[in-house]
Amino acid sequence: MNRRTAMSLAVVASAALLLPGCTGTGGSSKGADAKAPDDPSKVTGTIKVLTVRTDLVQDGTLKKYAAEFNKTYPKVKVEFEGLTNYEAEVKIRMNTENYGDVLLIPAVIKKADYPRFFASLGTQAERSKKYRFTDYTTVDGKVYGQSPVGVAPGFIYNKRIWKEAGVTEWPATPAEFIADLKAIKARTDAIPYYTNFAAGWTLTSWTYVDGAVSCDPQATTKLAEDDPWAKGADLRVGDTLLYDIVKQGLVEKDPTTSNWEESKPRTAKGEIATQWLGTWAIVQFQDAAKKAGVNPDDIGFMPFPAQTGGKFCATVAPDYNQAVNVHSKYKEAARAWIDWFTDKSGYVEDNLSISPLKDAPMPQVLKPYEDQGVKLIEVDDAQGARVKQLDSDSEVGIYAPEYRQNLVDLARGARKGTLDGFLGDLSERWTDAQKNLGS
């Protein structure tokens, strides 16, 4: 670099310091409401719906929903935009006013900022009579989003393989679970447990053991206030189980090149016995089974191996919450879409998921849960925002793949250290962040 370019760089750099830090959207529409329309035939407008379900955009399923929607709301035109890397892309778009009319609330948005970005759907007092999960999006008594489906975490497993290994009862403790996986390894050709290490996000579902282990609806509050990796704490129990599974060699030979798409038909065919995912995955695995020409009924679902008072527990939480863009020109139409999609579209049944409507029946796939008396709990999310903040501040990333990938690496010897040291470091970072954030 010669002197002249150095000079011009310096000029540019000093100009940078003078630039005011203006980002984000203005607060003019803050606190707007998206009211439910009174007369469906009068609602007009073209709304754009942002979604993560690129598969449903491509195969035209969403268009079919829109056509169905138009029978009630003939003057509303619904367009869809599927985003593969949803979080990152929407986050950047939210610095402008154009982020669709209906969108899924990205995890990065702070709860306190919801009124700046989204139009309110009504008060919690009123909405919670009809819907589940309202507290996940409530700010100052107003609700800003509604999830169309609820999900419960659990193990997707191949019933045939587990039976072949001689296991008929769900394991009730982590030790039993390990013993069962060992039996699968000894008696069948299947991979007992598949980590799906390479995809990364698949490992993050291990965070959702929180609440299921201790059967505590206050699990999120505990994350915010206590050490999640203290002896006996939910995350420690879950992480220890994952560590032991890998340590005992009960996983695929080379996790680093695992393949998510491939893991679905392989599980259906019985080459893989078990994966920790969620209810949302059942329909995908059953489809994979149909495509592979094997029996979709082989796909089973079981809760985390822990019991409280002799009963299994499973948490039910919302998937992405749908919200109305506060800058949308057609808020009524957008609201109509959210209400219709949640109440009447049949999306819940199509995905074998738990309905956000309080009076709706449980999906058929959870029949075994009812039979075994699995207790479904809704975790209180009052401290959810604080947990997210702690997670970012500490750079632990309980909703990001790195920490579980490191845990798996540690267990298979590709990383130096001990489990106690590893989890101790996590608790240290977490509790430090708690101290710095204050209460």
Partner 1 sequence: MTDTTEKAAVEVSAAAPVPAPASRRTRAWRGVTPWLFLIAPLALLITFTYAPIVNMLAYSFTDWDGVSPVLHYTGVENYQEVFTRPDLFEVFWVSGYYLAASAVQIVLALYFATILSFDVRFRNFFKGVLFFPYLINGVAIGFVFLYFFQDGGTLDSVLSLLGVHTDHAWLGTPASANTSLAGVSVWRYLGLNFVLFLGAIQSIPGELYEAAELDGANRWHQFRHIIAPGIKPVLTLTVILSISGSLSVFEIPYIMTGGATGTETFVIQTVNLAFRFNKTGLASAAAIVLLLIILLVTWVQRRLVPDDKVDLV
The residue within the footprint of partner 1, chosen from 256, 308, 372, 436 (CB under 8 A), is 256
Residue placing its CB nearer to partner 1 in the complex, 25 or 307: 25
Q: Counting Cβ atoms within 10 Å, is residue 436 exposed (0-12), middle (13-18) or buried (19+)?
A: exposed
Q: Out of 3, 4, 5, 16, which residue is the one contacting partner 1 (CB under 8 A)?
A: 16
User: Which segment (62-70, 104-112, 136-144, 308-316) binds partner 1 by CB under 8 A?
Assistant: 104-112
Question: Is 261 among the residues that bind partner 1 (CB under 8 A)?
Answer: no
Amino acid code (one letter) for 420: D
How many residues make contact with partner 1 (CB under 8 A)?
48
- Among 1, 169, 309, 435, indicate the residue that binds partner 1 (CB under 8 A): 1
Q: Decide: is 417 part of the binding site for partner 1 (CB under 8 A).
A: no
CB-based contacts of 262, cutoff 8 Å, min separation 6: none
Only segment of 32-40, 60-68, 138-146, 386-394 that touches partner 1 (CB under 8 A):
386-394
Of these, 3, 21, 359, 439, which contacts partner 1 (CB under 8 A)? 21
Q: Do 164 and 297 form a contact (C-beta atoms < 8 A)?
A: no
CB of 17 or CB of 38, closer to partner 1 = 17
Non-local CB neighbours of 341 within 8 Å, separated by 6+ positions: 65, 69, 148, 322, 347
Among 134-142, 308-316, 352-360, 408-416, the segment contacting partner 1 (CB under 8 A): 408-416
Q: Cα(152)–Cα(329) distance, rounded to whole angstroms?
A: 35
**Sole binder of partner 1 in the list 183, 392, 419, 424 (CB under 8 A):** 392
For partner 1, the closer of residues 255 and 303 by Cβ is 255
Question: Which residue of 33, 68, 97, 113 would you call a contact of partner 1, by CB under 8 A?
Answer: 113
Give 40 or 397: the residue with its C-beta nearer to partner 1.
397
Calpha distance 387→395 (Å, rounded): 12
Binder among 25, 240, 248, 431 for partner 1 (CB under 8 A): 25
C-alpha distance from residue 337 to each of 38, 81, 357 (Å): 13, 15, 16
| For partner 1, the closer CB: 26 or 346 | 26
Residue 86 in the binding site for partner 1 (CB under 8 A): no
Instruction: Select from 59, 189, 254, 428 the one that contacts partner 1 (CB under 8 A).
Output: 254
* Residue owning tokens 């306190």: 112
* Among 110, 187, 290, 367, interactor with partner 1 by CB under 8 A: 110
Residue 54 interacts with partner 1 (CB under 8 A)?
Answer: no
Q: Does 242 bind partner 1 (CB under 8 A)?
A: no
* Closest C-alpha among 321, 377, 303 to residue 138: 321
In the shown chain, the binding pattern of residues 163 to 202 toward partner 1, with x for contact by CB under 8 A and - for none, equals ----------------------------------xx-x--
Of the CA atoms within 13 Å of residue 135, those in its CB half-sphere come to 11
Q: Rounded to the nearest whole angstrom, what is the least distance from the CB of residue 397 to partner 1 in the complex?
A: 6
Cα–Cα distance for residue pair 219/317, rounded to 1 Å: 12
Closest CA to 372 of 177, 170, 158: 170
* Binder among 46, 72, 98, 259 for partner 1 (CB under 8 A): 259
Site for partner 1 in 264-323 (CB under 8 A): none
- Select from 63, 77, 91, 130 the one that contacts partner 1 (CB under 8 A): 91
Q: How far is the CB of 258 from partner 1 (least distance, A)?
A: 9
In sequence order, which residues have a C-beta less than 8 Å from that of residue 276 and are 6 or more positions away?
A: 153, 154, 155, 156, 205, 206, 242
2 binds partner 1 (CB under 8 A): no
How far CA 206 is from CA of 203, 276, 395, in Å, comes to: 6, 7, 17
Q: How far is the CB of 64 from partner 1 (least distance, A)?
A: 31
Binding site for partner 1 (CB under 8 A): 1, 12-13, 15-17, 19, 21, 23-27, 87-88, 91, 94-95, 106, 108-110, 113, 116, 197-198, 200, 252-257, 259, 391-393, 395, 397, 400-402, 405-406, 409, 412, 414-415
